[in-house]
Structure 1
Amino acid sequence: MNPLFARLFDDAAIFPPGDLPVPDAVKAYRERQLSPLEPLLGPFVCSLARLDELVAAAGPAAAPGRPLPVSLVVPGPDTSAAPAASTAIDVLAVEGPELIGPGGTLTAYREVGRGEITATRVAALRDAGLRLKIRTGGVRADAFPTEKDLAEAICRATAGGVPFKLTAGLHDPIRHRDPLTGFEHHGFLNVLVATAHAVQGGGVDEVAAALADQDGHRVAAAITTIDERLARDVRRQFVSFGTCSISEPVDGLLQLGLLPEDTL
């Protein structure tokens, strides 16, 4: 499997628009852990408010000896509410809009509005031991950053040495307009290619052009030119993205011939 896709998909199935019940989402995650999709899976994303539900659904009776890897969304400024590893769950990361310091042994992501992702803000995150979380979609058109907005964020994070994750709106591999809503969605393959340009010193215009490309075959071809060393650099920067659907991005990769046909 292409190293660009390893642990790329954080499972946010319990969040809108998926809204799966926690037990159903955990069951689906467990099934994928036992399938060829396992190398693609990042952690299961859960809000602090639903942690008790998650622990009950992921209990040791469901999967003896294999705690569920979790990224916990916290509303406050610290990580003290994150539980220690147990037989049910293993919290690997915390994320939220108010985090002010590192998560100790946990990876910590601070969500920052795209208009606030300045070089100064990125440097402050780096100095605080935080990573960056960028929202790339939502229920309104203005929740989707433009190509230039996202390119600027990627370039500043890369130049500042701050890894980032994305959330929302990235079900499809390729940049496209949703025919039902009219919203312009970014493609996660576009983001991988754009990040490759950024880590090689490309400017905002070059990165934005990669984000804007809606030709799936051309974007897929660009993915295949990224060698193993560059792939490591790209994924060190663009860590993962949260998606309420794992099957949709996987189907997109299969259709583009970027995953083995026996992946499902």
Structure 2
Amino acid sequence: MAPDPAPPFPDAWRGLVDDAATFPPGDADLGVALATYADRAAEWHSGLVGSFVVTDTHLASVPADVPVSVVLTSGAGAVAGVAALAARKGLRVAGIEAAVRDADDPVGNVRRIDAAARAAEVDVPLFVEVPGPVTAAWLAAVDEVAACGHRLKLRLGNVDHDLVPSPATVAAWIDAALDRETRFKATAGLHRAVRHDPEGGGAHGFLNVLAATQVLWDGGSVDDAAAVLEVRDGAALAATDVAAARRWFTSFGSCSVTAPLEDLLALGLLAPPTQHPTEQP
């Protein structure tokens, strides 16, 4: 008798982690990182990982069968080159990530990014990172991102712990995204599920961010969401409606895939096919 087929990977966790192994602090060799990404396809947890994150300067070295999220290392003008290279090589571009670099004119910068994407006929999600605290100028730039039909990219970590955004700031960012019904992804510092304090500095947890997203979407306040971002009890966060939160929080880039997987296993939110999670999200 043939063995029972392995259960499908839970949709709630599918594609949550984008493999950013070549970015700090991992700084993996590109060839090694690509080989690891390819080898992971045979593992039961491969569904946890979405795209492979690469800078535009290394895009030419990525095989055509690897879905990539491309981080622009320069301004809006880089969009055309990425689109042309992807078309020429038949690359599987899953998304493009651009940062607002003109602090004096963030709205104009968003418009230039949008114009470049339209001129290049980009037909994949475009994530725009608008740095800074929530000010009138920041909100105006986010308004423009939403009006253009693009998505937001939130930077939640930094190698300098003093530059990690506070729970109040992150909650306000998420609230702004949800208020505009704009999807977002996160980057930096989210490789662990639960908020923790490495080397004396606070680091956000991806399960906290999912929970805060749910709280805000359910009508909670920014203060409520900030409190959730402070929670360090993984069991308390495990009841999060992950599927609902991921309608908006699409994924996060992490230099480690192992760390998020370990935490989900420890919390009983994922299990190998021979086991079963104690609770399905």
TM-score of Structure 1 vs Structure 2, range by shorter chain: 0.7 to 0.9
Look up the match of 1:73: 71
Q: Are the equivalent residues in 2 in contact too, given 1:16–1:244 (CA < 8 A)?
A: yes
Residues 1:140 and 2:156 are matched in the alignment? no
Identity, in percent, stands at 37
Q: Are the equivalent residues in 2 in contact too, given 1:177–1:184 (CA < 8 A)?
A: yes
After TM superposition, give the deviation of residue 119 of structure 1 in Å: 3.6
Cα distance in 1 for partners of 2:194, 2:243 equals 21
TM-score, length basis structure 2: 0.81
The Cα RMSD (Å) is 2.1
Number of equivalent positions:
245
Residues 1:234 and 2:245 are matched in the alignment? yes
Look up the match of 1:189: 207
Look up the match of 1:14: 22
Greater gyration radius: 2
Q: Are the equivalent residues in 1 in contact too, given 2:44–2:272 (CA < 8 A)?
A: no
Residues 96-118 of structure 1, C-alpha deviations (whole Å, 9 max, x = no match)? 21462156212101111141574
After TM superposition, give the deviation of residue 169 of structure 1 in Å: 0.5
The verdict on how the C-alpha distance between 1:245 and 1:176 changes in structure 2, with shifts beyond 3 A counting, is same
Cα distance in 2 for partners of 1:218, 1:159 equals 26
Q: Are the equivalent residues in 1 in contact too, given 2:185–2:252 (CA < 8 A)?
A: yes
Residues 1:90 and 2:98 are matched in the alignment? no
Unpaired stretches in structure 2, ≥5 consecutive residues? 1-8, 101-109, 276-281
> For 1:1-264, what aligned pairs fall within 5 Å after superposition?
1-52=9-60, 54-55=61-62, 58=63, 67-74=65-72, 75-78=74-77, 79-82=79-82, 83-85=85-87, 89-98=91-100, 100-101=113-114, 102=117, 104-116=122-134, 118-178=138-198, 181-220=199-238, 222-223=239-240, 226=241, 231-262=242-273
Q: Are the equivalent residues in 2 in contact too, given 1:114–1:145 (CA < 8 A)?
A: no
Structure 1 moving runs of 4+ over 4 Å: 85-88
Look up the match of 2:278: none
After TM superposition, give the deviation of residue 87 of structure 1 in Å: 6.7
TM-score, length basis structure 1: 0.86
Unpaired stretches in structure 1, ≥5 consecutive residues? 60-66
* Aligned amino acid, residue 209 of structure 1: A
* Aligned amino acid, residue 259 of structure 1: L
